[in-house]
Amino acid sequence: MARPAACLFDLDGLLLDTEPLHGQAWQQATRHFGMELASHHLLALRGRRRLDCAEQVRQWLAEAERQVPSTDELLAVRQPIAERLLPSARPIPGAPELLARCLELGIAVALVTSSSKAAVGLKAAPHPWLAGIHERVYGDDPELAAGKPAPDPFRLAAARLSVPPPRCWAFEDSLAGAHSARAAGCQVHVLLPEEADLAERLVAQLPKGCRLVRELTEVNLSTDD
């Protein structure tokens, strides 16, 4: 692949190691209503907007014949847990360096996240290196018709950068994000989870044409490969 004209970055699990923290918050919230989430449940929630995740959790609770709270009731339990945990997230190894390399090479960059603008502010505050990403598509972006796995977030980011999606490299770690970026027409790089069973499950459900990355340090922006 030729050097990209733009790099579109997911945030959670790709630039910041927040997914275990999000998982803890959903697990504790769901446990409050009588259900224990399995690893495949948590994997399915990755990359999706908060309200979409809440609806999925409510569906699982109904299927398990547990108490089904309203979305507001569920989030009233979950959000304080998440807000306490998320500021402690560390950068994914290689993420600051990959972003710095993009900026050094003059490659346009954008953040394409399912998180709300307020949530990104909370998570990004301890990480000034993220300030290098000026263009951002949030999960609550007023111009966003649908969130991941729909192609809308990546199409919107590419349009704002004035770069055709096929010239964009999208970096994702979730099934929803990979499907979103691929449907938008981007060249997709998927960072695999360290856990072998989760990686195997993820790879089995990825769309065709994704490049698999075990560490962000593997990404070569400088030359064709």
- Annotated catalytic, 152? no
Q: Looking at the predicted structure, is the pLDDT value of residue 164 above 90?
A: yes
Per-residue HEC secondary structure of 136-161 comes to EECCCCCCCCCCCCCCHHHHHHHHHH
How many residues can be counted in the chain? Answer: 225
Which CATH number characterizes residue 69's domain?
1.10.150
Residue 121 and residue 73 share a domain: no
Which CATH number characterizes residue 120's domain?
3.40.50.1000
Q: Looking at the predicted structure, is the pLDDT value of residue 1 above 80?
A: no
169, 7 contact by CB (below 8 A): yes
Instruction: Please give the share of the chain, as a percent, with pLDDT higher than 90.
Output: 87
Rounded Cα distance, 193 and 12, in Å: 12
Residue 107 and residue 35 share a domain: no
* Confidence band, pLDDT 50/70/90 cuts, at residue 225: very low
pLDDT in tens, 63-80: 999 989 999 999 999 999
Residue 10 and residue 67 share a domain: no
Mean pLDDT of 166-194: 96
Give the pLDDT confidence score for residue 56 in this predicted structure: 96
Residue 174 and residue 114 share a domain: yes
Catalytic residue among 10, 52, 141, 173: 10
Tell me which residue range forms the domain holding 26: 19-88
- Annotated catalytic, 52? no
Give the pLDDT confidence score for residue 204 in this predicted structure: 94
Give the pLDDT confidence score for residue 84 in this predicted structure: 93
Catalytic residue among 12, 52, 152, 173: 12
- What mean pLDDT, rounded, does the chain reach? 94
Residue 58 and residue 11 share a domain: no
**Residue 71 falls inside a structural domain:** yes
Rounded Cα distance, 6 and 45, in Å: 27
> Model pTM?
0.85
Residue 153 and residue 206 share a domain: yes
Residue 113 and residue 62 share a domain: no
Mean pLDDT of 13-21: 93
Q: Looking at the predicted structure, is the pLDDT value of residue 224 above 70?
A: no
**Residue 225 falls inside a structural domain:** no
